[in-house]
């Protein structure tokens, strides 16, 4: 904005008595506010740049050291070390999203279009409260309450649906498996997806909803025709925020899972791939020297994974831009 105003000012001809130039007066409030807004924008970029810089600089030694040397110190080659954890991170988040997204959108639609107004507002409030629970509490709940409770279900899944690769293998006796971690993650990301989707659904223009109803749409058909398409970009954004939280979640996963460096599709066994964030948290206290660098390189990998996933989501949204209704 500032540059535009400046360039306009430059081409403005000098005022003559016949042509008084309609120059906008600089108002002090405008200048202060634009300064504040620009400053905030610059700050977030700076913070991001500093984090990225820290990760790059600190990760560099681990990435530059020859595989043989890492091997000799017992840390393992970087890629073969990080790969199972990267897999565990993405895989656990995938299951968490698979469980959380349909439920979250269902709750959001219930609040925005089905529930009586009084129930809707109190329900929305309760959902938002869920977001305030610290993740360590979720971790405790997951390992002490949820894991033993779902263990019989895992046995059942393994016995009757064991032919599906996800449910095969030797089921864990404690219930502290990747699926349990994913359920905890799902509960944790539920509030953010629900809140944001609800806001988007509530903003669907009445005009479009009535257009659908007047064509003889039932309520569900109206939601399919008007509400969900209108909210698509918002849903994707909320899912991305939820995914960001799931990918980076540390405590809850660390407390539920006793992870191992394995890559597997099985989610009910006691041999579970750990997540990057949990590995960093579990190993950092005793790490020194090159090991620290290696862990930070793990953090860099997580950063890149999040970036890639977000970019893909943006790409999907922008493909439908023409039909977003923004024009």
Partner 1 sequence: MSKRIEVNDLNCFYGKFKAVEDVSMTIQPRSVTAFIGPSGCGKSTFLRTLNRMHEVIPGAYVEGEVLIDGNNLYGPGVDPVNVRRQVGMVFQRPNPFPTMSIKDNVLAGYRLNKERMKNSEAEALLEKSLRSANLWEEVKNRLDKPGSGLSGGQQQRLCIARAIAMQPEVLLMDEPCSALDPISTLAVEDLVQELKETYTIVIVTHNMQQAARVSDETAFFNIAGTGAPGKLIEMSSTEKIFSTPDIKATEDYITGRFG
Q: Report, in Å, the least distance between residue 145 CB and partner 1.
A: 40
Q: Is 325 in the site for partner 1 (CB under 8 A)?
A: yes
- Nearer CB in complex with partner 1: 208/314: 208
327, two tokens: 């024009």
How close are the terminal C-alpha atoms of the chain, in Å? 22
Interaction pattern, residues 214-243, with partner 1; x per rule: CB under 8 A: xxxxx--x---xx--xx-x-----------
Separation between Cα atoms, residue 73 and residue 102, nearest integer Å: 46
Q: Report, in Å, the least distance between residue 237 CB and partner 1.
A: 16
Separation between Cα atoms, residue 65 and residue 293, nearest integer Å: 10
Q: Is 203 in the site for partner 1 (CB under 8 A)?
A: no
59 CB-contact burial (10 Å; exposed 0-12 / middle 13-18 / buried 19+): buried
- Nearer CB in complex with partner 1: 64/214: 214
Interaction pattern, residues 140-169, with partner 1; x per rule: CB under 8 A: ------------------------------
- Nearer CB in complex with partner 1: 9/321: 321
Q: Report, in Å, the least distance between residue 125 CB and partner 1.
A: 20
- Nearer CB in complex with partner 1: 67/325: 325
Name residue 259's beta-bridge partners: 272
Helix %, strand %, coil % of the chain (to 5): 75, 0, 20
List the one residue out of 89, 94, 134 whose CA is nearest residue 247: 89
Q: Report, in Å, the least distance between residue 162 CB and partner 1.
A: 38
Tell me the DSSP string of 50-116: HHHHHHHHHHHHHHHS-HHHHHHHTS--HHHHHHHHHHHHHHHHHHHHHHHHHHHHHHHHIIIIIS-
Stretch that binds partner 1, among 38-46, 76-84, 122-130, 203-211 (CB under 8 A): 203-211
Q: Which residue of 123, 211, 262, 287 would you call a contact of partner 1, by CB under 8 A?
A: 211
Identify the DSSP state of 166: G
Q: Is 117 in the site for partner 1 (CB under 8 A)?
A: yes
Question: Which residues does 100 contact at the CB level (< 8 Å), separation at least 6?
Answer: 185, 186, 187, 189, 190, 193, 242
Stretch that binds partner 1, among 169-177, 208-216, 251-259, 266-274 (CB under 8 A): 208-216
Q: Is 92 in the site for partner 1 (CB under 8 A)?
A: no
Please tell me the count of residues contacting partner 1 according to CB under 8 A. 25
Q: Is 207 in the site for partner 1 (CB under 8 A)?
A: yes
Tell me the DSSP string of 266-300: -SSBS-EEPPHHHHHHHHGGG--THHHHHHHHHHH
Separation between Cα atoms, residue 82 and residue 230, nearest integer Å: 40
Cα separations (Å) of 188 from 2, 93, 97, 176? 42, 11, 11, 17
Q: Which residue of 70, 101, 212, 246 would you call a contact of partner 1, by CB under 8 A?
A: 212
Enumerate residues 10-39 that contact partner 1 by CB under 8 A.
none
- Nearer CB in complex with partner 1: 4/214: 214
Q: Is 319 in the site for partner 1 (CB under 8 A)?
A: no
- Nearer CB in complex with partner 1: 30/221: 221
Q: Is 118 in the site for partner 1 (CB under 8 A)?
A: no
- Nearer CB in complex with partner 1: 236/305: 236
Chain contacts with partner 1 (rule: CB under 8 A) = 117, 205, 207-208, 210-218, 221, 225-226, 229-230, 232, 320, 322-325, 327
């Amino acid at each position: 904005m500032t540059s535009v105003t400046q360039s306009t000012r430059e081409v403005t001809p000098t005022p003559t008595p016949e042509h008084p130039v309609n120059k906008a007066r600089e108002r002090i409030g405008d200048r202060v506010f634009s300064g504040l807004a620009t400053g905030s924008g610059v700050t977030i970029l700076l913070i991001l740049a500093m984090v990225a810089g820290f990760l790059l600089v600190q990760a560099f030694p681990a990435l530059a050291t020859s595989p043989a040397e890492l091997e000799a110190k017992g840390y393992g080659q970087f890629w073969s070390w990080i790969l199972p954890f990267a897999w565990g991170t993405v895989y656990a988040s995938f299951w968490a999203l698979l469980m959380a997204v349909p439920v979250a959108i269902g709750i959001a639609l219930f609040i925005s279009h089905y529930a009586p107004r009084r129930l809707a507002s109190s329900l929305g409030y309760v959902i938002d409260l869920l977001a305030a629970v610290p993740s360590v509490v979720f971790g405790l709940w997951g390992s002490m309450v949820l894991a033993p409770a779902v263990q019989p279900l895992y046995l059942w899944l393994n016995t009757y649906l064991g032919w599906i690769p996800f449910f095969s293998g030797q089921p864990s006796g404690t219930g502290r498996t990747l699926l349990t971690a994913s359920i905890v993650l799902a509960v944790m990301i539920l509030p953010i997806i629900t809140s944001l989707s609800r806001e988007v659904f509530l903003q669907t223009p009445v005009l479009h909803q009535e257009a659908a109803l007047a064509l003889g749409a039932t309520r569900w058909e109206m939601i399919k025709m008007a509400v969900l398409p209108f909210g698509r970009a918002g849903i994707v954004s909320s899912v991305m925020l939820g995914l960001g939280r799931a990918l980076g979640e540390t405590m809850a996963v660390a407390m539920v899972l006793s992870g191992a460096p394995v890559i597997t599709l099985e989610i009910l066994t006691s041999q579970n791939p750990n997540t990057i964030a949990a590995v960093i948290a579990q190993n950092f206290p005793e790490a020194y020297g090159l090991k620290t660098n290696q862990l930070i390189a793990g953090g860099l990998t997580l950063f890149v994974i999040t970036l890639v996933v977000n970019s893909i989501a943006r790409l999907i949204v922008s493909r439908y831009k023409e039909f977003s209704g923004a024009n």
